[in-house]
Amino acid sequence: MNPIVSDAQKFSPATRNGSARLKDVAERAGVSLMTVSLVLRDAETPRVSPDTRARVLQAAKELRYVPNARAQVLRSGVTNVIGLYAGYGYVNVRTPFFTEIVSGLQEGCELFGKDLLLHGTFRNRSVDEIYNELRDGRIDGLIVNMPATSPLAQQLAEAHFPVVAVGDPLQGLPAVEVDNEAGGRFIAEHLMEKGHARCLYVSGSIEPISAQRRRGAFLGCALENGLEVQEMRLSSAPDASQELMNHWLSLEPQQRPSAVVCWNDTTAYDFLALCRQEKVRVPEDVAVIGFDGCPTPYNDFWSLTTVRAPWAHAAQTAVEHLNALLQGQTVPAETILPVEFVAGQTS
């Protein structure tokens, strides 16, 4: 049985592959391809009369003509797209840190007329494969957050490709960071003001340079002022926060640190949840302090004492610097944004 097809269901060649072509616009307007190209590129030329220009624009509107982005890139060599690559794994926008980073990147892209491409996980991929994908022509420049020891960071620095690091410094690349040293000192000073004599400093399983600076400044200030500090590094296990609680509970009550300083807010919130589960009073039995100050759903349950780092502003600044590099301008090797101490109810 032959299908019944009405004229209303037929499509003209102008809609082939979902979009009209320059040729279709030219035929509709009754002009040459060159004339259409000149008008749609908004080129001012006496060769195109106002009437012809209006006719071409009307034809393009009627056919819903959309310029071929790939062809434009081939002609100009510019995509107006920047990328984000996270060298610690995939970009998990559910974490407060990356939520703020991606938010700031989007604000920066809107400000400078760029699109943002989030690159994938690259698990089980070699450094060369990752490098080749990042340099495959889809982006004009790159924002990165990765370990300083990454071989990829060295390759990018040697490639003369526009790259800006955010969060942590990378050798040979401009970076936008926050003042981790000041944050570490703020926390130590707060604990001493509150009369604490012993605390536990908790580092993550991976310690980037930013966290190293934070911890170093905290320990230096604590040592100068007689604050005893025990240290613990979490494992990469999913229940690492339980390891922290088990360690704290295993100590004799009189030997337990009266404060737990966590390298980031996520660790602090996980520990607070276990404190509630174990009936540990905060801050009466133990004070808890974090670092980041990013808005999270946890804010509804606890007013965390923390250091607020302007991660979104750092990311937006990174886009600003990347745009400057794309314009052939120079940018500072290291830009450090100020942080703010927030005294919550957990200390």
Residue type, 88: Y
- Global pTM reads 0.80
Domains of the chain with CATH codes: 12-67 (1.10.260.40), 81-178+312-339 (3.40.50.2300), 180-309 (3.40.50.2300)
Give the orientation angle of helix 265-277 with respect to helix 240-250, to 10 degrees: 60
| Segment-wise mean pLDDT, segments of 10 residues, the chain, 347 residues | 55 51 86 82 72 87 73 61 86 84 95 90 80 88 92 90 95 97 98 97 94 97 96 92 95 93 95 95 97 81 92 97 95 97 96
- In sequence order, what DSSP letters do the residues of 168-197 get, joined into one string? S-BTTB-EEEE-HHHHHHHHHHHHHHTT--
Q: What pLDDT does 77 receive?
A: 55
Residue type, 232: M
Q: What pLDDT does 72 receive?
A: 54
Sequence-distant (6+) residues with CB within 8 A of 185 are 217, 218, 220, 221
